Amino acid sequence: MGDYVRQLQLPGESSDFSRRQPLALRLHLDLPLLLLLALLTGFGLFVLYSASGQKMPALIRQGQYFLLAYCVMFAAAQIDLKRYQRWSPWFYLLGVLLLVGVIFFGVGAKGAQRWLSVGGFRFQPSEILKLVMPLTVAWYLSSRALPPRFKYVLACLLLVALPSVLILLQPDLGTALLIAASGLFVLFMAGIGWAYIVGAFVLACLSAWPVWMYVLKDYQKQRILTLLNPESDKLGAGWNIIQSKTAIGSGGWEGKGWLNGTQSQLDFLPESHTDFIIAVLAEEFGMRGVLVLIALYLLIVLRGFWIAVNAKSNFGCMVAGSITLTFFVYIFVNMGMVAGLLPVVGVPLPLVSAGGTSVVTLMAGFGVLMAVATSDSGRR
């Protein structure tokens, strides 16, 4: 059936180029989204300069990551949605195989095997799944009537569970949950019944006890306990949360001024340039800065939903919705954990925290989003 569709669409595709179209559309770029991303990454670099102890090399490094990430985004935007749809099951298979490989040949640190090392180059197969998971579930559902019937839902759950369990075995609970969520978001977009959603929610609550008892490692339990009472371990696990709350709170409405945050500049705040960077922003720019950041994020998320609603195919709609929702999960989890609302898990503040991997993965997602936005494949 895939081939059939391609044959149908190919002539139309070529005819697009002959017609006079705006440059952005011809380059497969969504200008509003691009503008918002540029603002966000620019703001991010500003904060990062302060958070990294005013070190130029760190800034240049992150700039290089952004450059790479924009290239990846641009490249991802050029690929036709049909190809994503066609390739996703194969990438899914590849990803799962690599995850199995991690279990047998993986390298890692601190009791977790998360990397594969190929010719001296180390990478995390789970990163691939972050993008491939929603694509694959969307591919599976796109040829079926929506809302999906029970057996298809079940098949989707299997598709979601396989890599998630493999990642959980590494063990990397945070990533496993994020990837599972990105797959489930597709199901949600596909319109599975509310009964499923409520049922899953109840099941999750019921399974909390056995999960605590048998699944969670000691350090994970410690993080949750620390969240409930950070004062219990002021120097150890609680230190991060106490210091980040102090940084955020002491910023007040106006903030202490760029480069003037005592918590971050005097090194009281741990991980200030990575996972806890929002605390630097909150300390130096105050609540005003936080509002600006949240506004930027909200606009990006809304634009993502707008693209989803206007997608010309079910596949595009489900993928765009899932990518956008996942992006929001990053924001919510990171801002929540730094402010002491959620346990500390290794989730960066998207496009602001220092680091290359997450930036590239996220921007690749936005590339797919732009591909959806600029695709002219009609809804079937």
- The residues that touch other proteins, with contacts defined as CB under 8 A, are 4-5, 8, 143-147, 188-189, 191, 234-235, 243, 245-253, 262-263, 265-268, 282, 286-287, 290-291, 294, 297-298, 301-302, 305, 308-309, 314, 317, 321, 324-325, 328, 332, 335-336, 339-341, 379-380
How far is 312 from 326, CA to CA, in rounded Å?
Answer: 21
Q: Which two tokens stand for residue 14?
A: 């070529």
**Closest CB to other proteins among residues 10, 118:** 10
Asked whether the bond before 171 is cis by omega within 30 degrees of 0, the reply is yes
Sequence-ordered alpha helix ranges (H) in the chain: 2-18, 23-26, 31-51, 56-78, 81-105, 125-142, 150-168, 173-189, 194-206, 208-210, 218-228, 237-251, 262-265, 277-309, 314-338, 357-374
Q: Which two tokens stand for residue 300?
A: 């990006």
**Closest CB to other proteins among residues 99, 320:** 320
How far from 252 is each of 281, 283, 290, 298, 333, CA to CA, in Å? 11, 7, 11, 22, 22
Amino acid (1-letter code) at residue 232:
S
Q: Reduce the DSSP state of residue 113 to 3 states and report it.
A: strand
**Closest CB to other proteins among residues 124, 322:** 322
**Closest CB to other proteins among residues 166, 352:** 352
Closest distance of CB 332 from other proteins, Å: 5
Complete DSSP assignment for 279-293: HHHHHHHHHHHHHHH
**Closest CB to other proteins among residues 77, 247:** 247
Closest distance of CB 246 from other proteins, Å: 5
Pairing of strands 121-123, 107-109: unpaired
Closest distance of CB 257 from other proteins, Å: 14
Residue with tokens 């989204």: 33
Closest distance of CB 320 from other proteins, Å: 9
Closest distance of CB 156 from other proteins, Å: 15
Closest distance of CB 287 from other proteins, Å: 4
**Closest CB to other proteins among residues 163, 230:** 230
Closest distance of CB 65 from other proteins, Å: 26
How far is 157 from 102, CA to CA, in rounded Å?
Answer: 22
**Closest CB to other proteins among residues 244, 361:** 244
Complete DSSP assignment for 248-261: HHHHTTT-S-TT--
